[in-house]
Amino acid sequence: MKLDKTDRKILNILQQNARISNLELAEMVSLSPTPCARRVKRFEDEGLIKGTTTILDPEKLGLNLTAYVALNLEQHNQDQFEAFERQVIEFPEVVSCSVVTGRAEDYLLKVVVRDIKHYEEFLLSRLNKIEGISTCHSSFELRNITPARGLPI
């Protein structure tokens, strides 16, 4: 999809505040409301905008510990990868799961939990019960220095 300067401005604003009214958005990008709404609809129709989300404060929800879990699978075949992925996406604590390269591990998970006791329960009672995991290494986030932000466009 080819994007002009106004398209990029609209998308940047929506990434910061998806609840903005079309009228406010149109004013911010110097368009009248109808063409602005048409552009946003086009972004949605073409799949550029996949949905909207609300960013929650994990600490205010009692989720005070973030772990990054790097793990390997015993076998590197499509069936084992698919079986692992089907299971891991069911865990609400896993907020991100990526297949990675350039590391010794196959996957990198971002896990958000209440505390170390919750993490231990998650790791030992659920994650490590997935068949086919050969190694698992956890690192804990001390402090996040980047606020939630959108993609650089």
The domain tally of the chain equals 2
Same domain, 40 and 66: no
Structure confidence by residue, pLDDT tens digits, 111-133? 999 999 999 999 999 999 999 99
Name the token pair of 128. 């490590």
- Are 60 and 134 within 8 A, CB to CB? no
Same domain, 37 and 63: no
Same domain, 15 and 86: no
Q: Domain for residue 50, yes or no?
A: no
Q: Domain for residue 94, yes or no?
A: yes
The phi, psi pair for 10, rounded to 5°, reads -60, -50
How far apart CA 44 and CA 51 sit, in angstroms, is: 8
Note the pTM of the prediction, 2 decimals: 0.83
Name the token pair of 56. 């929650």
Same domain, 95 and 63: yes
pLDDT band at 17 (very low <50, low <70, confident <90, very high): very high
pLDDT band at 7 (very low <50, low <70, confident <90, very high): very high
Same domain, 63 and 41: no
How far apart CA 91 and CA 49 sit, in angstroms, is: 25
Name the token pair of 102. 């350039």
Place of tokens 């329960």: 121
Range of the structural domain that residue 74 is part of: 59-140
As separate numbers, helices (DSSP H) first and strands (DSSP E) second, the chain gives 5, 4
Structure confidence by residue, pLDDT tens digits, 67-116? 999 999 999 899 999 999 999 999 999 999 999 988 789 999 999 999 99
Same domain, 111 and 38: no
